[in-house]
Amino acid sequence: MTASLAPPPAPATAPPPAVPHQPGPDENGSPVRGLRWHRWLPAPAVALPILALVHHYGVARSDLALFGAYVALGIAVPGTLLWRAARRRSGSLAEDLAPGLAVGYAVEVVAYLVARAAGAPRLVVVAPAVVLLAFLAVPRLRRYWRTDRGVTGPGAGWLWAMAGIVGALLAWSCVTYLRTRGAVYNFADGDLPFHLALIGEARHHVPPQVPWVAGEPLQYHWYGYLHLAATSWVTGIEPETILLKLYFLPLLAALPLLVASAARRIFGGWWTGVLAAGICLFGVAPELYRWPLFDPYRFPRPGPVDDGTLLREATWISITQTFAAVVCVPLVVVLVDLLRRRDSGWRPWTLVVLLVAVMTGAKATYLPILLCGLLAVVVLGLPAHRRLNLPALAAAGVVLAAAVFSQVVLLKASPNGLLLDPLGSMNLAEVARVTGLYLLPLSGAALAVVTALTVLAWVVVWSGILGALGGRRWGDPAYGLLTGAGIAGMGVVLVFQHYGNGQTWFLIAARPYLSLAAAGGIAALVRSAGADRRVARGLFAGAAAAGAALAVYIVATGRPVTPKVGLDGPEATVEIVAGPYAALLVGLAAAALFLWLAGRRYRTVRRLGLALLAVCALATSAPAAVDAVARDVRVAAADGFRPVELMRSDMPRGARKAGRWLRDHSRPADLVATNGHCRQPTCDSLHFWFTAFAERRFLVEGWGFTAKANEMYGVTGEPPVHTAFWDPVRLNHNDAVFHTPSAAAAGRLREVYGVRWLFVDESDPKLSPAVGRYARLRVRFGDCAIYELR
């Protein structure tokens, strides 16, 4: 094993020469010598069962083949070639394919912007075709089709471990998410029709607008929808199928591989990648209560105790989050090499600019926390090296420019409902909601306890960062970047509040940074100890078992009945809530004392003591992660793993067919009016079904998820989904043709607003039967009818 994690600090007088990084020997790796069939077994061992599951849950084999071919030839292969060329080296396919996929996504977004603006969206395939041809035709580029000589590839243990992580994540996604999204799914979740409507908008218009309120600017992250729109155009697969069943599969497969390859690249050692990927995807707060914590909305909560949804549902329900997460990790790899001065020249900076530019519109929440990480590199590097890290300053300038562009141009300086409210997020912690503490409102001792438990949960999950505290590791730009960005994500959750708990996405965005730093910290402690590998493995296994056993013991001996403020009183409820986590602290303190005493006798324990304590703390969250997976699997098994529909809504019968008919018989520029505005039973404004299926702009359908509706939250405090429409004149003109039809009302819609079509919800009790006098009925499906204005 190597003696230390970070490279030796450079002299204060002159920076070290920038030379391309040459991968060295790895204790867990093996040289890559041509094609060895047994190294490819883990890939089909995962892919074949997952493809069978996806087909079982309703995806046609033809769609799977088309989608797979496009992702491989249109995104992954050209992206991998560009990644290798920009890095001026070809690593093993195991560490290049996932970042290559991310680069391919970035190139696809840029290419689609150009193709869609030119009015020929299918020309998005020109970009990957040009890349493939160039790397075939140009002699000096052909070498990037193969791995460089002498490159150390991962060993069989790493390949099978990562296959297990990827396979578990994808299988979990299939039996939990994909199983409940059938072909006749009724879109009860407001996010799904929202996403589908934006995909339809991206298919026909760039830059996009809010399609459910004509003329309203789209102040949202929309680059991820360009990928789904491009995929739909090229493959011919319905956007609904891509959204519900396909798009997230390569993204989820790539994310653990990206984190693992980044950990190996930044910190060395293939095993650090397995650890980082495991923490990132399955690290959850330790759930120490014997009484159940269950939120029926299952939305990611800031803490404690999340039940595994923190990353799981984030990757399923948010196109923007998952897409940006995949783009973000390769950016971190390139930045670390530049900040460590391992790389230089214009090529890596081209990657930085490309990936930051795409992240600007994919998920701008990544930019401020990344900027904080870069500033942390500058600040921490001054006392360590007595000079400014100029690459960090340059990168911070690029990120700052991107953040300003995102806020001013894309988001139009809209806060999107994010308000300054220190510790306001704690009201949404699951333990506060279940026990009723949030009804007080949360303040005083209750607020202090919930906040302390939240921070403790974060420290436990990412306890490996403790390894960065020793030696000169804070002078390593990798730690400054990763921990600075991670702490910034935590800070946003503690300082800001959003009506839809949107501040949580900053912490979700920081998970890869924090997980990489935690794995790197543990690796640093192990290597500085110089312990025998077999002995170290045994000690770590024992520490992990002790941590998991501690969590299980606390749960087993805990109170089985949920405390309630109304029954137990506020003070007693706070004490009961804090008890299990106080026991956790006592248990970890006892483990630290045991390691200190053992270390006085055994040198290996003394050297590994801090790393063993970090592993023990992390392992206390393992039972919660296992339970989160097992709970979902048990639910699916009870249904025989059959496709089911768990959520239903009041979407009018025939909405899907009517929308598809309108899409096929109208032009993208046509404007539509409808009498459908709110969803029952609460009559919220998240009525996007008609826009989603028609892929046309509506004068007014719903008005939720818009910047103007979000701004009302800061003024009135009322949830944006229940605010009134801000232009009552337009709404009255829109509804007149449905409720009090007349020639004047129809003429006004046609001549003043430019409406050509009417999408009528005939279940509306206020609907007048005289609509047909002033518009021609074209088709009717169920409760939905399409009229054309005369």
Residue 641 in tokens? 């793993």
Q: What is the DSSP string of 650-719?
A: -PPTTHHHHHHHHHHTS-TT-EEEES---BTTTTBS---HHHHHH-SEESBS---SSHHHHHHHHHH-S-
Q: Tell me the three state secondary structure of residue 414.
A: coil
Q: Is the pLDDT of residue 454 over 50?
A: yes
Average pLDDT, stretch 87-111? 94
The band of 389, judged by pLDDT with boundaries at 50, 70 and 90, is confident
The band of 678, judged by pLDDT with boundaries at 50, 70 and 90, is confident
Q: Is the pLDDT of residue 65 over 60?
A: yes
pLDDT score, position 304: 53
Give the range among 177-191, 319-333, 774-788 with minimum mean pLDDT.
177-191
User: CA dihedral defined by 642, 646, 647, 651, rounded to 10 degrees?
Assistant: 40
Average pLDDT, stretch 609-630? 89
The CA distance from 432 to 497, in Å, is 16
pLDDT score, position 422: 87
The band of 15, judged by pLDDT with boundaries at 50, 70 and 90, is very low
What's the per-residue H, E or C state across 416-474?
Answer: CCEEECCCHHHHHCHHHHHHCHHHCCCCHHHHHHHHHHHHHHHHHHCHHHHHHHCCCHH
Residue 371 in tokens? 């900027």
Average pLDDT, stretch 225-236? 96
The CA distance from 706 to 210, in Å, is 7
The band of 306, judged by pLDDT with boundaries at 50, 70 and 90, is low
Give the range among 151-155, 227-231, 538-542 with minimum mean pLDDT.
151-155
The band of 647, judged by pLDDT with boundaries at 50, 70 and 90, is low
Average pLDDT, stretch 501-512? 84
More confident residue, 223 or 501: 223
CB-based contacts of 288, cutoff 8 Å, min separation 6: 305, 551, 554, 555, 558, 580, 581, 583, 584
Q: Is the pLDDT of residue 187 over 70?
A: no
Find the length of the chain.
790
The CA distance from 159 to 396, in Å, is 35
The CA distance from 624 to 307, in Å, is 7
pLDDT score, position 10: 42
693 phi-psi bin (left φ>0, alpha ψ -120 to 50, beta other) = alpha
pLDDT tens, residue by residue, 690-714: 999 999 999 999 998 888 887 776 6
| Closest-CA residue to 272 (of 532, 534, 519) | 519
More confident residue, 788 or 179: 788
The band of 646, judged by pLDDT with boundaries at 50, 70 and 90, is low
pLDDT score, position 465: 87
Residue 449 and residue 473 in contact, taking contact as beta carbons nearer than 8 Å? no
pLDDT score, position 13: 39
pLDDT score, position 529: 79
The band of 37, judged by pLDDT with boundaries at 50, 70 and 90, is low
CB-based contacts of 668, cutoff 8 Å, min separation 6: 204, 205, 695, 696
CB-based contacts of 462, cutoff 8 Å, min separation 6: 279, 283, 486, 514, 515, 517, 518
The CA distance from 60 to 63, in Å, is 5
pLDDT score, position 4: 36
Here the contacts of 35-40 (C-beta below 8 Å, separation 24 or greater) are 38/156, 39/153, 39/156, 39/159
The CA distance from 517 to 502, in Å, is 24
Apex 241 CA angle, 94 and 306, nearest 5: 65
Q: Is the pLDDT of residue 185 over 70?
A: no
Mean pLDDT of the chain: 86
Q: Where are the domains of the chain?
A: 57-144, 157-180+247-632, 191-245+650-789
Q: Is the pLDDT of residue 648 over 80?
A: no
| Closest-CA residue to 286 (of 492, 583, 511) | 583
User: CA dihedral defined by 70, 75, 80, 85, rounded to 10 degrees?
Assistant: 130
Give the range among 266-275, 590-599, 639-648 with minimum mean pLDDT.
639-648
Average pLDDT, stretch 187-201? 84
pLDDT score, position 6: 39
pLDDT tens, residue by residue, 195-224: 999 999 999 999 999 999 999 999 888 999
Phi, psi angles (nearest 5°) of residue 65:
-65, -45
Residue 33 and residue 277 in contact, taking contact as beta carbons nearer than 8 Å? no
pLDDT score, position 424: 82
First-to-final CA distance of the chain: 79
Number of H helices, E strands in the chain: 30, 9
pLDDT score, position 308: 40
Residue 336 in tokens? 């670390």
Using CB atoms within 10 Å of the CB of residue 640, give its burial: 0 to 12 exposed, 13 to 18 middle, 19+ buried.
exposed
User: Which residues share a beta bridge with 422?
Assistant: none
Q: Tell me the three state secondary structure of residue 780.
A: strand
pLDDT score, position 515: 92
pLDDT score, position 416: 64
pLDDT tens, residue by residue, 626-637: 887 888 888 889
Q: Is the pLDDT of residue 299 over 50?
A: no
User: CA dihedral defined by 450, 455, 456, 459, rounded to 10 degrees?
Assistant: 160
Average pLDDT, stretch 374-384? 87
pLDDT score, position 783: 94
pLDDT score, position 255: 92
